[in-house]
Amino acid sequence: DQQVKQNSPSLSVQEGRISILNCDYTNSMFDYFLWYKKYPAEGPTFLISISSIKDKNEDGRFTVFLNKSAKHLSLHIVPSQPGDSAVYFCAASPSRVGNEKLTFGTGTRLTIIP
Amino acid sequence: NAGVTQTPKFQVLKTGQSMTLQCAQDMNHNSMYWYRQDPGMGLRLIYYSASEGTTDKGEVPNGYNVSRLNKREFSLRLESAAPSQTSVYFCASRAQGFSNQPQHFGDGTRLSIL
């Protein structure tokens, strides 16, 4: 039972345009969400997070939106740059105070076309 | 700044052999984690340690043991390797005592069981 789902295995976007990566979850106990970025042969690196008390969090070119009623979050990257080409993982935690156990989605491979 | 260091980076084993994957972090983090990543499966938690001296099972603990040697080091042992344990293994650590701190990952150990 996949509690965190990323239904798009891959996404291609032109450089300079907006990239939108989506994530759905089924567990109502999740209240803290994170996005990680992963390059080949490297470990995931933390990108941005959002707590369930918010519906939007922004950090430079990256914005995460949370729709609790739909159990859906999305990551917007604008403008997209070639260095953004990577696999993006959505992750969720049931605890606002700590994220002792993260549940990860299966990832979306983003390719930025120059 | 090394962060989370995993050794070895690559390993090939024969079925039935034993192996210990090493992980060390230099960020004075309390919590440490072991994940495995398989194609199409995202990252799945094997074991975690919330603090020195404690360990708990994650989603896929069967066939593995862990040791939290000290605050810095958290090892993962395969007592009798099986082909199903062929995977990329990631270690992560996280600061405790601060809300919503992300996990920091090492670059992984690529393990093949023949």
Closest chain B residue by Cα to residue A7: B40
Task: Mark yes or no for CB contact B43/A104 under 8 Å.
Answer: yes
Task: Mark yes or no for CB contact B42/A43 under 8 Å.
Answer: no
Mean pLDDT of chain A: 93
pLDDT digits (tens, 9 = 90+) for B21-80: 999 999 999 999 999 999 888 899 999 998 888 999 999 999 999 999 899 999 999 999
Percent of chain A with pLDDT over 70: 95
pLDDT digits (tens, 9 = 90+) for A17-31: 999 999 999 999 898
Q: Residue A95's pLDDT is what?
A: 67
How many whole angstroms separate alpha carbon A112 and alpha carbon A84? 7
Token reading at A66: 């949370």
Count other C-beta atoms under 10 Å from residue A29's C-beta. 10
pLDDT digits (tens, 9 = 90+) for A44-68: 999 999 998 999 999 999 999 999 9
Task: Mark yes or no for CB contact A100/B99 under 8 Å.
Answer: no
Q: Residue B84's pLDDT is what?
A: 96
Look at residue A1 and tell me whether its pLDDT is greater than 80.
no
CA Rg value for chain B: 13
How many whole angstroms separate alpha carbon A10 and alpha carbon A88? 10
pLDDT confidence tier of residue B99, bands split at 50, 70 and 90: low
How many whole angstroms separate alpha carbon B45 and alpha carbon B36? 7
User: How many CB pairs below 8 A link A and B?
Assistant: 61
How many helices (H) and strands (E) are present in chain B, helices listed first?
0, 11
Q: Give the residue from A41, A38, A52 showing the smallest Cα distance to A6.
A: A38
Q: Residue A101's pLDDT is what?
A: 82
Contacting B with CB below 8 Å, chain A residues are 4, 32, 34, 36, 41-46, 49, 51, 89, 91, 96-102, 104-107
Closest chain A residue by Cα to residue B41: A106
Sort A51 into a burial class: Cβ within 10 Å, 0-12 / 13-18 / 19+.
middle
Q: Residue A94's pLDDT is what?
A: 82
Instruction: Name, in order, each residue with C-beta under 8 angstroms of B52's C-beta and a sequence gap of 6 or more.
Output: B30, B68, B70, B71
How many whole angstroms separate alpha carbon B75 and alpha carbon B47? 10
**A96 against B88, higher pLDDT:** B88
Residues of A in contact with B108 (CB under 8 A): 41-43
Q: Hey, what amino acid is at B111?
A: L
The whole-number average pLDDT for the span B2-18 is: 95
The whole-number average pLDDT for the span B82-110 is: 89
Task: Mark yes or no for CB contact B42/A106 under 8 Å.
Answer: yes
